[in-house]
Structure formats: C-alpha cells, structure tokens
Chains A and B, each alone.
Chain A
Amino acid sequence: EYDIYKHDEL
C-alpha cells in the first residue's frame, strides 16, 4: 500500500 501512496510533496 505504501508504494502506491507516494508522497510527492516536500
């Protein structure tokens, strides 16, 4: 699940 949920913000 974590991989799907990428944090693309700083």
Chain B
Amino acid sequence: MNIFRLTGDLSHLAAIIILLLKIWKTRSCAGISGKSQVLFALVFTTRYLDLLTSFISLYNTTMKIIYIGCAYATVYLIYMKFKATYDGNHDTFRVEFLVVPVGGLAFLVNHDFSPLEILWTFSIYLESVAILPQLFMISKTGEAETITTHYLFFLGLYRALYLINWIWRFYFEGFFDMIAIVAGVVQTILYCDFFYLYVTKGESGSNKINPA
C-alpha cells in the first residue's frame, strides 16, 4: 500500500458517499444517471467475487463490502425509493454499446482464461467507460448540480491517483498490470474535459457547469 493508492481509495469512497448522501438528503436523483450507477454496481459485483475465495487484508475486504453496499443502495434509491425523481428522458445512453464490446474484449484480452479472471477483466474494462452515461446525460441537460460535479471530481481523481500508484509500484516493486493501467488511462482521459470545466467554472463560482 502506498499513499497514492490510499488517497485514491479514499477519494473513491468520498465520491460514492457524496452521491449516496446527496440523493438521500435531497430525496431526489435529478441529474443523476441511473445507468452509470447500475454499471458501477456491476463493476463491483464482478470485480469483488474474490471476497468469497481469497482474503487479502481487513482493509481490502472492508472497502469492497462498503463499495458494493453503497453501489446497490444508490441503485435502489434511484430506481425504487426516489423513482419519481429519476430523469429517464435524459438518461438515454445505450449501455449495451458498452457492455457487449467490453464483454467481448474481456474474453480476448485477459491474464488468465478462468471465470474469476475473465470477470475481473470485464469489470476493469467496464469501469473505464461506466461514467459515460452520466457525462452524456450532463451534456444533454447542459448543466450539473454543484454536488454532482464534486462527485465526478473525486471519482475521476481516484483513478488518476491509481495511475501514480502504478508508477510507484512499478518503480519500487517491479509490479505492473497492463490491463488495469491501459483501462485506467482511458478512464482518466474521459474525465479530462470535465476536469477542465470543473477547475475553470469552479473558480468563477458559477453553481452549474455547462459542458460544450
């Protein structure tokens, strides 16, 4: 464990908690893409099946359970509890265009052709594009609530910190996982446009960002 990975995990946890609290406190999921949240729940489910097969550390197990719990709680709030506030007309990204190619790629490019490893690879590839429905929805509505932009900032920051963690681990441990690194680079690049808006609009204090 290094400071970049720890900060990255905490940033990821912060994003997940920010979103869950935002929906819970405002009792509304307006502006939130339910499709992205379903994809994230799928990412955690397929990646953390090893909870059943191997124990790495208390930290690892605890965080995985928290991530899975929060992901499903968020999906529940969006599609059940606060269903009336779900903005389905703007959450129209065709997720099958993400899941099918990612599923195929996981079969073609992986470390080991075993079920757990294929699912892990699927989850890594899926996570890199899972935010697209949310970014697409924001571009369609033309605005995002401030709290949603903080959620996206921490979510984008987490994988950027992981990139530094992988540089650190390659240099100090000789460890590197090409699949995770390539997917992580793609994932972080997808946030660049948003990061730019977040920083520039954030300074001007406007309470909404308007992606081009």
- Which A residues form the contact surface with B (CB < 8 A)? 1-2, 5-10
Contacts and interface: CB of A to CB of B under 8 A. Distances in A.
A9 B176 CA distance: 12
Nearest to B57: A8
Contacts of A6: 54, 56
A6 to B, nearest CB: 7
Contacts, number: 28
A5 B111 contact: yes
B46 to A, nearest CB: 12
Q: Which of A1, A8, A9, A10 has the most CB of B within 10 A?
A: A10
Nearest to A5: B111
Given A7-B120, A9-B5, A10-B9, A1 B112 contact: yes
Contacts of A5: 111-112, 117
13 contacts: A1-B111, A1-B112, A2-B117, A5-B112, A6-B54, A7-B50, A7-B120, A7-B177, A9-B5, A9-B162, A9-B165, A10-B9, A10-B63
